[in-house]
C-alpha cells in the first residue's frame, strides 16, 4: 500500500482517496453537484509544475482570472446566472476584501469559501493586532492553505472545495498574485485562472501575458481571455465582476470594485461587446 | 540600583545599562549584561525582576527568530515592539512579568528607533527613555542635552554624562555600565564603563 511510483504528495492524495471513499469520484450531498477528484500532475504553467487535486464542479463554477501588473493586480470573475429567477446580488459574489491590502476571487463551493474567507479575515486582523502592521500577503495565503491542507490529511471530514486567487500588496514584495487549490497548494503567479475552463484561460494568458504590463492593459487582457473562455456567448456587465488592487499616490493600498456602468464601458472599449444601443 | 537608558541619534540608537546583579543588600556580580541583542538589528535593554527579565527577553528573542524562520523576512522594530507589548499585556492579568524594556532597532524604511515598554504594558515610541533609579538623572540630563540628529560622539558623550551623574549622585549607584549601539550595520556592543572589577583571588 505504501509503495508508490509518484511523489509523496500523490501518495498522500491516493491514501486519502482510498481511505475515504475507495473511488476517485464522489457525489456531493446536493445531488446536482458532481465532484470529481482527479490526481495528476498538471502541465507546466507560467511559473511551475503544480500537483493538482482538482475538483470540477460542473455548471455552477464560474471562471476567475487574476493578472499581476507593474502598478496593480486585476481580478476578473464570471458570475454564473443559474436561473433567470435568481436575484442577482448588488454586492460582489466572487470577490472578497480580506484586509485593506488583500482581496481574493473564489471558485468552488461558496459555502465552503465563506468559512475560509472568514478565517482569512480573522488571521489578518490577528496579525495586525499583534504587530500593528498589515499582514504580509504570502503569510496570509499560507495560513489559509494550512487550514485547507489539514482537511486533506485526516479522515472523517471533507476538504474545502474552493480555489482562490489572492491579490495584494505589501511593503516587502509589492504587488502579488497567488493561486491556491483545495489541497492547500499555492504559488505566486503573474497571471492565473481558476474555475471552469481554467486550463484554456491559463494557456491564453501564457500566450498573451507580457512582463511590464500596465494595470489598464491587464484589465483588457483579462476581459479578452474571459470572453473567449466563457460558456455563454455574450459578455455583459451583469455577468462579470472586476476588482483591482493598486496603490494610491498617497501610498495607501486601494481595493476597488468596478461598477456595472464602468464595466459596460470597459467591455465596449476592449471590443468584447457591442455598445448597448447598437446591440438592440 | 538599576539604571537603563537610551536615545536615538542620526541613523543609530544607543542604549546603556548598569551591570550589577543585586539581591537584597548584596551585589552578587558587577558584569551582568542586561542588554540583549534581539536579532541582527535590534537591542533590548531590560530592567526588573532578574528571573523575569531573562525569561521574558529570551522568550521574545526566540519568537522573533521563529518569525524570521517561518516567513523569511525579519520583523520591523515597530512590529517587534508591538508584539512584546502584546505579550506583556496578556501576561499582565495572569502572571505578570516584572520587566521594563527599552527596545532599540534599525530598519531600512523607518531608520533608527527606540521604544519604551513598561511592565504594565504601555508602549511609547521615544527619542530618549530611561528606567530605574538612574532614570531620575538620565532623564534630566537628556532633557537638558539631547537634541535630534546627534552624532555617535555626541550621544556617547551624553551617555557618559548620565553614567557619571548616576555614579556621583545616587546613594545605591551601580559601578559598571555597558553601552550598545544599533545602526545600519547591525546591533553590537559599543563599550563598557567599569569603575570596579571583580576581585581576583590567587589560588590557595
Q: What is the 3-state secondary structure (H, E, C) of chain B?
A: CCEEEEEECCCEEEEEEECCEEECCEEEECCCCCEEEEECCEEEEEEECHHHHHHHHHHHHHHHHHHHHHHCCCCCHHHHHHHHHHHHHHHHCCCCCCEEEEEEEEECCCEEEEEEECCCCCEEEECEEEEECCHHHHHHHHHHHCCCCCCHHHHHHHHHHHHHHHHHHCCCCCCCEEEEEEECCEEEEEEEECCCCCCCCCCC
- The answer to whether residue A13 scores a pLDDT higher than 90 is no
In this prediction, residue A87 has a pLDDT band, given cuts at 50, 70 and 90, of confident
Residue A32: CB partners within 8 Å, gap ≥ 6? A59
A251 touches chain B (CB under 8 A): no
In a mutagenesis test of the A interface, which of B82, B89, B121, B125 is the best target, namely the one with the most A β-carbons within 10 Å? B82
Q: Give pLDDT, residue B164.
A: 97
Supply B171's cell numbers.
546613594
Radius of gyration of chain B (CA): 17
Give A126→chain B minimum CA distance, Å: 11
What is the value of ipTM here, to two decimals?
0.87
Calculate mean pLDDT across residues A198-221. 95
Instruction: For residues A238 and A90, give the distance between their C-alpha atoms in angstroms, rounded to a whole number.
Output: 10
Residues of B in contact with A146 (CB under 8 A): none
Tens-place pLDDT, residues A25-66 = 343 333 333 333 333 333 333 333 333 444 444 445 789 999
CATH number of this structure's domain B4-202: 3.60.20.10
Tens-place pLDDT, residues B41-64 = 999 999 999 999 999 999 999 999
Instruction: For residues A57 and A26, give the distance between their C-alpha atoms in angstroms, rounded to a whole number.
Output: 11
Q: Give pLDDT, residue B41.
A: 98
The answer to whether A253 and A245 are in contact (CB under 8 A) is yes
Q: Give pLDDT, residue A236.
A: 85
Instruction: For residues A177 and A169, give the distance between their C-alpha atoms in angstroms, rounded to a whole number.
Output: 9
A146 touches chain B (CB under 8 A): no
B76 touches chain A (CB under 8 A): yes
User: Could you tell me whether strands A186-188 and A51-57 are parallel, antiparallel, or unpaired per DSSP bridges?
Assistant: unpaired
Tens-place pLDDT, residues A218-276 = 999 999 999 998 877 778 888 899 999 999 999 999 999 999 999 999 998 887 776 55
Sign for the pseudo-dihedral over CA of B170, B172, B174, B180:
negative
Tens-place pLDDT, residues A124-135 = 999 999 999 999
Q: Give pLDDT, residue A235.
A: 82
Q: Give pLDDT, residue A12.
A: 38
In this prediction, residue A5 has a pLDDT band, given cuts at 50, 70 and 90, of very low
Q: What is the share, in percent, of chain A residues with pLDDT greater than 70?
A: 76
Q: Give pLDDT, residue A77.
A: 94
Burial profile A59-82: b = 16 or more Cβ within 10 angstroms, e = fewer: ebbbbbbbbbbeebbbbbbbebee
The answer to whether A215 and A69 are in contact (CB under 8 A) is yes
Of A132, A138, A139, nearest to B79 by CB-CB distance is A132
- The answer to whether residue A20 scores a pLDDT higher than 60 is no
Q: Which residues of chain B have pLDDT under 70?
A: 199, 204
In a mutagenesis test of the B interface, which of A126, A130, A176 is the best target, namely the one with the most B β-carbons within 10 Å? A130
Whole-angstrom CA distances from A202 to A72, A93, A193, A195 are: 19, 22, 6, 11
Amino acid at each position: 500500500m505504501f509503495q508508490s511510483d509518484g511523489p509523496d504528495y500523490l501518495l498522500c492524495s491516493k491514501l486519502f482517496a482510498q481511505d475515504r471513499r475507495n473511488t476517485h469520484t464522489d457525489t456531493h450531498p446536493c445531488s446536482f453537484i458532481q465532484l470529481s477528484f482527479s490526481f495528476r500532475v498538471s502541465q507546466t504553467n507560467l511559473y511551475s509544475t503544480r500537483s493538482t487535486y482538482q475538483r470540477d464542479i460542473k455548471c455552477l463554477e464560474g471562471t476567475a482570472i487574476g493578472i499581476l501588473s507593474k502598478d496593480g493586480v486585476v481580478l476578473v470573475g464570471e458570475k454564473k446566472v443559474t436561473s433567470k429567477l435568481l436575484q442577482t446580488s448588488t454586492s460582489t459574489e466572487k470577490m472578497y476584501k480580506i484586509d485593506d491590502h488583500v482581496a481574493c476571487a473564489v471558485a468552488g463551493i461558496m459555502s465552503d469559501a465563506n468559512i475560509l474567507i472568514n478565517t482569512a479575515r480573522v488571521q489578518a486582523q490577528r496579525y495586525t493586532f499583534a504587530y500593528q502592521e498589515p499582514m504580509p500577503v504570502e503569510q496570509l495565503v499560507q495560513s489559509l492553505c494550512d487550514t485547507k491542507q489539514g482537511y486533506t490529511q485526516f479522515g472523517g471530514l471533507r476538504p474545502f472545495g474552493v480555489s482562490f486567487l489572492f491579490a495584494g500588496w505589501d511593503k516587502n514584495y509589492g504587488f502579488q498574485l497567488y493561486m491556491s487549490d483545495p489541497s492547500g497548494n499555492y504559488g505566486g503567479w503573474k497571471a492565473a485562472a481558476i474555475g471552469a475552463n481554467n486550463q484554456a484561460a491559463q494557456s491564453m494568458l501564457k500566450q498573451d501575458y507580457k512582463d511590464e504590463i500596465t494595470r489598464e492593459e491587464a484589465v483588457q487582457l483579462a476581459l479578452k481571455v474571459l470572453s473567449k473562455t466563457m460558456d455563454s456567448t455574450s459578455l455583459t456587465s451583469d455577468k462579470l465582476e472586476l476588482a483591482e488592487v493598486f496603490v494610491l499616490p498617497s501610498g495607501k493600498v486601494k481595493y476597488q470594485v468596478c461598477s456595472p456602468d464602468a464595466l459596460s464601458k470597459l467591455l465596449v472599449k476592449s471590443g468584447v461587446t457591442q455598445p448597448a444601443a447598437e446591440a438592440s | 540600583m538599576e539604571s537603563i537608558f537610551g536615545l536615538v541619534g542620526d541613523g543609530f540608537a544607543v542604549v546603556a545599562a548598569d551591570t550589577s546583579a543585586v539581591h537584597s543588600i548584596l551585589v552578587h556580580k558587577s558584569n551582568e549584561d542586561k542588554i540583549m541583542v534581539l536579532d541582527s538589528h535590534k537591542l533590548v535593554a531590560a530592567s526588573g525582576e532578574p528571573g523575569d527579565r531573562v525569561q521574558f527577553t529570551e522568550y521574545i528573542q526566540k519568537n522573533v527568530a521563529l518569525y524570521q524562520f517561518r516567513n523569511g523576512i525579519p520583523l520591523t522594530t515597530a512590529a517587534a515592539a508591538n508584539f512584546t507589548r502584546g505579550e506583556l499585556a496578556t501576561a499582565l492579568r495572569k502572571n505578570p512579568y516584572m520587566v521594563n524594556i527599552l527596545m532599540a532597532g534599525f530598519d531600512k524604511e523607518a531608520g533608527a528607533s527606540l521604544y519604551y515598554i513598561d511592565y504594565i504594558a504601555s508602549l511609547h515610541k521615544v527619542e530618549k527613555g530611561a528606567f530605574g533609579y538612574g532614570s531620575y538623572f538620565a532623564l534630566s540630563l537628556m532633557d537638558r542635552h539631547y537634541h535630534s540628529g546627534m552624532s555617535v560622539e555626541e550621544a556617547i558623550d551624553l551617555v557618559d554624562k548620565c553614567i557619571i551623574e548616576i555614579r556621583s549622585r545616587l546613594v545605591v549607584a551601580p559601578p559598571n555600565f555597558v553601552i550598545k549601539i544599533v545602526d545600519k550595520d547591525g546591533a553590537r556592543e559599543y563599550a563598557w564603563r567599569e569603575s570596579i572589577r571583580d576581585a581576583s583571588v590567587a589560588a590557595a
